Amino acid sequence: MPRSYGGKVDMLHFSLDSPIREEHNAMRGVACYDSVLESIRVARSLGERPDILFTVFDHNIGHIETIWKNICLPDNLVLILNPVFEYNAVQTGGGLSESSLTALSWWGKQKNVYLNEAFITLRRNGGNDTAKPVCRAASSTIVISPDNHLVLPCYHLGLKTIPIGDNLYEVFQSAEVKYWIEQEGRLPQCQGCAINCYMQPSLRSK
Protein backbone atom coordinates (compact mmCIF):
# COMPACT_ATOMS: atom_id res chain seq x y z
CA MET A 1 0.00 0.00 0.00
CA PRO A 2 1.56 3.37 -1.02
CA ARG A 3 2.00 5.84 1.83
CA SER A 4 -0.12 8.34 -0.12
CA TYR A 5 -3.13 6.07 0.58
CA GLY A 6 -2.69 6.35 4.34
CA GLY A 7 -5.84 7.57 6.08
CA LYS A 8 -7.93 7.39 2.90
CA VAL A 9 -9.07 3.76 3.04
CA ASP A 10 -12.52 3.08 4.54
CA MET A 11 -12.34 -0.71 4.55
CA LEU A 12 -9.31 -2.94 4.11
CA HIS A 13 -9.85 -6.70 4.14
CA PHE A 14 -7.09 -9.32 4.06
CA SER A 15 -8.10 -12.93 3.46
CA LEU A 16 -6.46 -15.42 5.78
CA ASP A 17 -7.96 -18.90 5.94
CA SER A 18 -5.44 -20.73 8.10
CA PRO A 19 -2.61 -19.91 10.52
CA ILE A 20 -0.58 -22.63 8.80
CA ARG A 21 1.36 -21.29 5.80
CA GLU A 22 1.14 -24.42 3.66
CA GLU A 23 -2.57 -24.91 4.32
CA HIS A 24 -3.49 -21.31 3.55
CA ASN A 25 -1.44 -21.33 0.35
CA ALA A 26 -3.01 -24.61 -0.76
CA MET A 27 -6.52 -23.24 -0.17
CA ARG A 28 -5.78 -20.07 -2.13
CA GLY A 29 -3.85 -21.80 -4.88
CA VAL A 30 -0.96 -19.33 -4.61
CA ALA A 31 1.91 -18.83 -2.16
CA CYS A 32 0.54 -15.69 -0.52
CA TYR A 33 0.61 -16.38 3.24
CA ASP A 34 3.76 -14.36 3.94
CA SER A 35 2.57 -11.53 1.70
CA VAL A 36 -0.74 -11.32 3.58
CA LEU A 37 0.99 -11.01 6.95
CA GLU A 38 3.45 -8.45 5.57
CA SER A 39 0.59 -6.45 4.02
CA ILE A 40 -1.19 -6.38 7.38
CA ARG A 41 1.99 -5.09 9.01
CA VAL A 42 2.42 -2.37 6.37
CA ALA A 43 -1.22 -1.31 6.66
CA ARG A 44 -0.87 -1.04 10.43
CA SER A 45 2.30 1.04 10.06
CA LEU A 46 0.35 3.49 7.89
CA GLY A 47 -2.30 3.94 10.56
CA GLU A 48 -4.91 1.75 8.88
CA ARG A 49 -7.00 -0.80 10.73
CA PRO A 50 -7.35 -3.80 8.43
CA ASP A 51 -9.82 -6.62 8.95
CA ILE A 52 -9.04 -10.31 8.69
CA LEU A 53 -11.50 -12.11 6.42
CA PHE A 54 -11.68 -15.81 7.28
CA THR A 55 -13.62 -18.05 4.89
CA VAL A 56 -15.00 -20.88 7.01
CA PHE A 57 -15.06 -24.50 5.86
CA ASP A 58 -15.69 -27.60 7.95
CA HIS A 59 -12.00 -28.46 7.70
CA ASN A 60 -10.60 -25.11 8.91
CA ILE A 61 -13.12 -23.97 11.51
CA GLY A 62 -10.79 -25.22 14.24
CA HIS A 63 -8.21 -22.59 13.19
CA ILE A 64 -10.44 -19.62 14.06
CA GLU A 65 -9.18 -19.50 17.63
CA THR A 66 -5.51 -19.35 16.64
CA ILE A 67 -5.99 -16.50 14.18
CA TRP A 68 -8.24 -14.68 16.64
CA LYS A 69 -5.80 -14.98 19.55
CA ASN A 70 -2.50 -14.59 17.71
CA ILE A 71 -3.28 -12.11 14.94
CA CYS A 72 -6.49 -10.22 15.68
CA LEU A 73 -6.53 -9.57 19.43
CA PRO A 74 -2.91 -8.38 19.79
CA ASP A 75 -3.50 -5.57 17.26
CA ASN A 76 -7.21 -5.08 18.03
CA LEU A 77 -8.23 -6.20 14.54
CA VAL A 78 -11.70 -7.44 13.62
CA LEU A 79 -12.04 -11.05 12.45
CA ILE A 80 -14.79 -11.33 9.83
CA LEU A 81 -16.19 -14.84 9.52
CA ASN A 82 -17.38 -15.64 6.02
CA PRO A 83 -19.24 -18.97 5.71
CA VAL A 84 -18.22 -20.77 2.52
CA PHE A 85 -20.58 -20.72 -0.44
CA GLU A 86 -20.59 -22.35 -3.87
CA TYR A 87 -18.64 -20.25 -6.37
CA ASN A 88 -19.04 -21.21 -10.02
CA ALA A 89 -16.73 -24.19 -10.73
CA VAL A 90 -14.52 -23.66 -7.67
CA GLN A 91 -14.42 -26.75 -5.46
CA THR A 92 -15.67 -25.52 -2.07
CA GLY A 93 -16.27 -28.91 -0.50
CA GLY A 94 -20.01 -28.44 -0.09
CA GLY A 95 -21.86 -26.66 2.69
CA LEU A 96 -21.18 -26.43 6.40
CA SER A 97 -22.25 -29.10 8.87
CA GLU A 98 -24.70 -28.34 11.66
CA SER A 99 -21.88 -28.54 14.23
CA SER A 100 -19.89 -25.94 12.27
CA LEU A 101 -22.91 -23.64 12.04
CA THR A 102 -23.38 -23.92 15.81
CA ALA A 103 -19.70 -23.16 16.40
CA LEU A 104 -19.91 -20.16 14.07
CA SER A 105 -22.85 -18.76 16.02
CA TRP A 106 -20.76 -18.97 19.19
CA TRP A 107 -17.76 -17.29 17.60
CA GLY A 108 -19.93 -14.49 16.27
CA LYS A 109 -20.56 -13.36 19.86
CA GLN A 110 -16.89 -13.07 20.81
CA LYS A 111 -14.83 -9.89 21.10
CA ASN A 112 -13.52 -8.48 17.81
CA VAL A 113 -15.42 -11.06 15.76
CA TYR A 114 -18.06 -10.15 13.18
CA LEU A 115 -20.58 -12.62 11.80
CA ASN A 116 -24.01 -11.88 10.40
CA GLU A 117 -26.13 -14.44 12.24
CA ALA A 118 -28.61 -14.32 9.36
CA PHE A 119 -26.02 -16.14 7.24
CA ILE A 120 -26.41 -19.10 9.58
CA THR A 121 -30.20 -18.98 9.36
CA LEU A 122 -29.99 -18.75 5.56
CA ARG A 123 -27.98 -21.97 5.40
CA ARG A 124 -30.21 -23.80 7.84
CA ASN A 125 -33.16 -22.81 5.66
CA GLY A 126 -31.50 -24.25 2.56
CA GLY A 127 -30.37 -20.98 0.95
CA ASN A 128 -32.38 -18.71 -1.32
CA ASP A 129 -35.91 -19.87 -2.10
CA THR A 130 -37.09 -18.84 -5.57
CA ALA A 131 -40.68 -18.78 -4.29
CA LYS A 132 -39.75 -16.20 -1.62
CA PRO A 133 -36.37 -14.84 -2.76
CA VAL A 134 -34.09 -12.94 -0.39
CA CYS A 135 -31.48 -12.23 -3.07
CA ARG A 136 -30.77 -8.59 -3.96
CA ALA A 137 -28.01 -9.22 -6.49
CA ALA A 138 -29.23 -6.98 -9.30
CA SER A 139 -30.80 -4.21 -7.22
CA SER A 140 -28.03 -3.79 -4.64
CA THR A 141 -24.91 -4.50 -6.70
CA ILE A 142 -23.67 -3.04 -9.97
CA VAL A 143 -21.24 -5.34 -11.78
CA ILE A 144 -19.21 -3.79 -14.61
CA SER A 145 -17.05 -6.03 -16.77
CA PRO A 146 -13.56 -5.00 -17.97
CA ASP A 147 -15.03 -4.25 -21.41
CA ASN A 148 -17.58 -1.80 -19.93
CA HIS A 149 -20.68 -3.98 -19.88
CA LEU A 150 -23.26 -4.29 -17.14
CA VAL A 151 -23.40 -7.93 -16.01
CA LEU A 152 -26.81 -9.26 -14.91
CA PRO A 153 -28.45 -10.54 -12.80
CA CYS A 154 -25.21 -11.08 -10.87
CA TYR A 155 -21.52 -11.66 -11.45
CA HIS A 156 -21.80 -15.37 -10.74
CA LEU A 157 -24.58 -16.12 -13.23
CA GLY A 158 -23.68 -13.49 -15.83
CA LEU A 159 -26.66 -14.39 -18.01
CA LYS A 160 -26.91 -10.98 -19.67
CA THR A 161 -24.38 -8.28 -20.56
CA ILE A 162 -25.44 -4.80 -21.65
CA PRO A 163 -23.08 -2.18 -23.15
CA ILE A 164 -22.81 0.83 -20.85
CA GLY A 165 -21.25 3.40 -23.16
CA ASP A 166 -20.81 6.64 -21.23
CA ASN A 167 -24.09 6.75 -19.31
CA LEU A 168 -24.49 4.11 -16.61
CA TYR A 169 -27.49 5.91 -15.09
CA GLU A 170 -29.55 5.69 -18.30
CA VAL A 171 -28.64 2.05 -18.83
CA PHE A 172 -29.55 1.15 -15.26
CA GLN A 173 -32.95 2.82 -15.63
CA SER A 174 -33.74 0.96 -18.84
CA ALA A 175 -36.59 -1.53 -19.15
CA GLU A 176 -34.13 -4.33 -19.90
CA VAL A 177 -32.23 -3.83 -16.64
CA LYS A 178 -35.46 -3.48 -14.68
CA TYR A 179 -36.55 -6.84 -16.10
CA TRP A 180 -33.39 -8.52 -14.81
CA ILE A 181 -33.77 -6.86 -11.43
CA GLU A 182 -37.23 -8.39 -11.22
CA GLN A 183 -35.63 -11.82 -11.84
CA GLU A 184 -33.14 -11.61 -8.97
CA GLY A 185 -33.44 -14.69 -6.81
CA ARG A 186 -36.26 -16.09 -8.92
CA LEU A 187 -34.35 -17.93 -11.65
CA PRO A 188 -33.98 -21.73 -11.45
CA GLN A 189 -30.22 -21.30 -10.89
CA CYS A 190 -30.98 -19.15 -7.82
CA GLN A 191 -32.56 -21.97 -5.83
CA GLY A 192 -30.45 -22.76 -2.77
CA CYS A 193 -27.91 -20.01 -3.45
CA ALA A 194 -26.17 -18.71 -0.32
CA ILE A 195 -23.74 -16.13 -1.69
CA ASN A 196 -23.47 -13.79 1.28
CA CYS A 197 -22.86 -10.51 -0.50
CA TYR A 198 -26.10 -10.79 -2.48
CA MET A 199 -28.23 -11.85 0.48
CA GLN A 200 -26.94 -9.44 3.11
CA PRO A 201 -28.95 -6.37 1.97
CA SER A 202 -32.20 -8.23 2.70
CA LEU A 203 -31.19 -10.19 5.80
CA ARG A 204 -31.56 -9.03 9.37
CA SER A 205 -30.49 -11.12 12.31
CA LYS A 206 -33.30 -11.44 14.87
pLDDT, residue 11, reads 85
* Pair 111, 133 in one domain: no
pLDDT, residue 4, reads 66
Quick check: is 120 in a domain?
no
pLDDT, residue 3, reads 61
Q: Give me the phi and psi of 73, to 5 degrees please.
A: -60, -40
* Pair 134, 110 in one domain: no
* Pair 181, 134 in one domain: yes
Report the distance separating Cα 113 and Cα 100, nearest Å: 16
pLDDT, residue 205, reads 46
DSSP letter, residue 87: B
Provide the number of structural domains found in the chain: 2
* Pair 75, 14 in one domain: yes
Residue-number span of the structural domain to which 65 is assigned: 3-115
Would residue 88 be called left, alpha or beta, if left means φ above 0 and alpha means ψ between -120 and 50 degrees?
Answer: left
* Pair 19, 94 in one domain: yes
pTM: 0.82
pLDDT, residue 58, reads 94
* Pair 7, 90 in one domain: yes
* Pair 11, 85 in one domain: yes
pLDDT averaged per 10 residues in sequence order, the chain, 206 residues: 65 94 94 95 90 95 97 95 75 74 96 94 92 92 95 93 95 96 95 86 62
pLDDT, residue 30, reads 93
